[in-house]
Amino acid sequence: MTTSALKRGPTPVRLALAAAGMVVGGGLGWAIGRLVKHGGLDLSGAGWSDLAAGTIAAMLLATGLMVGLASFNARIAGRMMDPASDRPARPAQTVFYRQQGVVMALAGVMLAAPVAARLLWAPLPAALAQAVMAGIVALFLLQTLLNLTVWMRADEMMRRMIAESGSVCFWVLQGALFLWAAAEKLDLAPALSAWDLMTILMGVYLVVSSVLSVRRGFS
Amino acid sequence: MKNRLKVLRAERDWSQADLADRLEVSRQTINALETGKYDPSLPLAFKIARLFGQPIEAIFDDGEA
């Protein structure tokens, strides 16, 4: 396989993945729409950051599930990792790929849990809030462990992309945070909650890491 | 940074995946190296030089020489 093979444009695998993504995303959107329409989910109390976090969570969950399921088939995993190659993924690669899928799916669940709990139970009983929080902490510890494993097993370019994404996010967001905080202090901007800030951080990180990945040839 | 990785690889009839296996990196890393989208760390540059049996400066060119 050569570089020119990578420049041929959309491969059938890429198109199939895009189609699968549209089907999963469309299905998820339809299901949520049905829930809202029939009163199963009341979004009237949800703020912009709840909706944004829910959207990001759904994307992470869908992608994580897709990657995780694909990792159980060496040939499909090989094509997803490298659409230009028809070599099946090796066992170590499928495990690595599965770990990345689980990390994404866990991030989606953790992001969705507080929003879902508030939307499904209003008012939220304290005991239930504590139970949800305990679950989130447990998932967070598990995800941190998996993230460290992914970092240790990644090659140097992937590590550099992760580190660069973190650096870019820090410099962009600390500047934005300072300007917003100054404006807020001067009563020129509304106050933001910790959840608002976390949602912005997640969104910016996903955009930055995606851009850096594409620039390095991942797509 | 320019490099001769693609040429050296082609001389040995290796695919990007073959070279990736030998260097224990991903195929995407090899592609990024060959297309100049990524500069390797010093340890990886040494590994590449040893694999091809050539000095680093014979493979990589920073344009300063």
Q: pLDDT for A16-54, tens place per residue?
A: 767 777 777 777 777 777 777 777 677 777 889 999 999
CB atoms within 10 A of CB A200: 18
- Per-residue model confidence as pLDDT tens digits over B2-56: 899 999 999 999 998 899 999 999 888 999 999 999 999 999 999 999 999 999 9
Query: Measured between CA atoms, how close is B64 to chain A, in angstroms?
Result: 24
Q: What's the CATH number where B41 sits?
A: 1.10.260.40
- For A118-175, write each residue's pLDDT tens digit: 888 878 899 999 999 999 999 999 999 999 999 999 999 999 999 999 999 999 999 9
Inter-chain contact A3–B35, Cβ cutoff 8 Å? yes
Please state, in angstroms and rounded to a whole number, the distance separating the CA atoms of residues A120 and A132: 12
Residue B65 covered by a domain: no
Checking if the pLDDT of A66 tops 50, the result is: yes
Q: pLDDT (tens digit, 9 = 90+) per residue, A114-128?
A: 999 988 887 889 999
Residue B61 carries which side chain, given as an amino acid letter? D
**With 70 as the cut, is the pLDDT of residue A198 above it?**
yes
User: Which tokens hold the place of A102?
Assistant: 């689980």
Of residues A14 and B61, the one with the higher pLDDT is B61
Q: Which residue range(s) make up the domain with B26?
A: 2-56
Name which residue leads in pLDDT, A81 or A5. A81
Check if the beta carbon of residue A112 is closer than 8 Å to that of residue A64.
no
Distance CA B38, CA B30 (A): 9
Q: Is residue B37 a part of any domain in this protein?
A: yes
CB A113 within 8 A of CB A195: no
For chain B, the domain total comes to 1
Question: CB–CB of A82 and B38 under 8 A?
Answer: no
Start-to-end Cα distance in chain A: 17
Residues in B closer than 8 angstroms to A88, CB to CB, are none
Subunit contact A3:B15, Cβ cutoff 8 A: no
Identify the closest residue of chain A to B33 by CA–CA distance.
Answer: A216
Q: Is residue B11 a part of any domain in this protein?
A: yes
Does residue B64 lie in a domain region?
no
- Chain B residue numbers with beta carbons less than 8 Å from the beta carbon of A3 are 6, 16, 31, 34-35
For A88, phi and psi rounded to 5 degrees? -65, 150
Least CB–CB distance from A155: residue in B16, B25, B31: B25
Decide: A173 and B61 in contact? Cβ < 8 Å: no
Min Cα separation B50/chain A (Å): 18
Its pTM stands at 0.81
Whether B23 and B51 have beta carbons less than 8 Å apart is answered as yes
> In 3D, which of A88, A65, A85, A66 has the Cα closest to residue A77?
A88
| Cβ contact A1–B16 (<8 Å) | yes
Question: Which H, E and C letters describe A147-206, residue by residue?
Answer: HHHHHHHCCHHHHHHHHHHHHHHHHHHHHHHHHHHHHHHCCCCCCCCHHHHHHHHHHHHH
Least CB-CB distance to A3: which of B29, B31, B40? B31
What H or E segment, with its residue span, contains residue B60? strand B60-61
3-state secondary structure of B2: strand
A4-26 residue pLDDT tens? 444 445 566 667 767 777 777 77
